Amino acid sequence: MQPTTYHDIIVIGASAGGPAALSRLLSELPAELPASLFLVNHLAPETAAQVLLERIGKNSQLPCLLARHEEPFERGHAYLAPPDHHLLIRDGRVLVTKGPKENRSRPAIDPLFRSAAAAYGSRVIGVVLTGLLDDGTAGLSAVRRSGGIAVVQDPREAAYADMPQSALRHAGADHCVPIAEMGSLLVNLAALPAPTTTVPADVVREAQIAERLLSGIEGMVELGTTRLPYSCPDCGGALWEIKHDPVDRFRCQVGHAHTAASFLSYQTARLEETMWVALRLLEERRHMLLRLAERESGQGLGQMAEGRTREAEETAIHIERIRETLAAGPGQPSPGPGNRATA
């Protein structure tokens, strides 16, 4: 007879508003928690990890540690992903890798959740907290498909409701509770026996991508994907659609992954950046045309000066259109005729 296993692997993901949410949650957990915790909060590469660690662990009874590669993990401890590295787990060890970004983030939530699901199946509890966009949704789905338990913060109390709402809508949840109730819930869940389940092959394959054990076009074909007419925002390579996910999600052959929401967010940011550059160039062009028109008029070249002035006036129209679009926000209708709000 095999020994009974329990839900002793708890993976937690947060983004915007995450430090406060993680701090509150850790303060609710007892020192004798019979599980290991693994935390991802989206971080900029230059983030001072130790400052964040001290903040989230300030009121915790559990030791809070910055994850170190190949370090064995223990129950009753919390491990935080360091900046610019993914946090993964396997064979009782913490893995800290520079694997391909997901949703333009490293650390990202989905690789941790998927890694835990691939290695520990039904023993995993996945927790999605506050944040923007939808990182964590695909990972939480992998946890549930592998027999684990999904817990989501009540979006009504989240500082940023996007991530919890996306997780609920697309991956589903076994429990949706405010953080004040989440600590006792996790304690109770950790004490429940974990059933024997089979981890889907695609979850294992994608976990291997994060560890850089699988890549290339062959890896994409194994995931049952279709090539798309888009380029990867991170490397410019071709993208393939992941078919089995609850959200539209894409991967390139080197492993970068994007949900449709994160891809659209990237496009919007690049579009705005491009429009500001275009605005600067058009402003410079208009001023140069007027400068030349003034000089040519003084030299008696009236016809040429008039042509320059017309060009400057046409350029001014383009400038105004771009300004209106930027004011409305790229991707939104500009407040031109027919689009202006009426009183």
Q: Are 260 and 224 a contacting pair, CB within 8 Å?
A: no
Q: CA dist 135 to 140, 149, 187, Å?
A: 9, 18, 25
Query: Rounded to an integer, what is the distance from CA 113 to the centroid of its chain?
Result: 13
Query: Is there a catalytic annotation at residue 244?
Result: no
Name the catalytic one among 7, 42, 85, 86.
42
Name the catalytic one among 7, 15, 162, 256.
15
Query: Is there a catalytic annotation at residue 42?
Result: yes
Q: At residue 272, what is the residue type?
A: E
Query: Is there a catalytic annotation at residue 134?
Result: no
Q: Are 289 and 308 a contacting pair, CB within 8 Å?
A: yes
Peptide bond before residue 195 is cis, with ω within 30 degrees of 0: no
Name the catalytic one among 110, 134, 135, 234.
135
Beta strands in the chain (DSSP E): 9-14, 36-41, 64-66, 78-80, 86-90, 93-97, 124-128, 149-153, 175-177, 226-231, 238-241, 249-252, 257-259
Any idea which residues carry the catalytic annotation?
A: 15, 42, 135
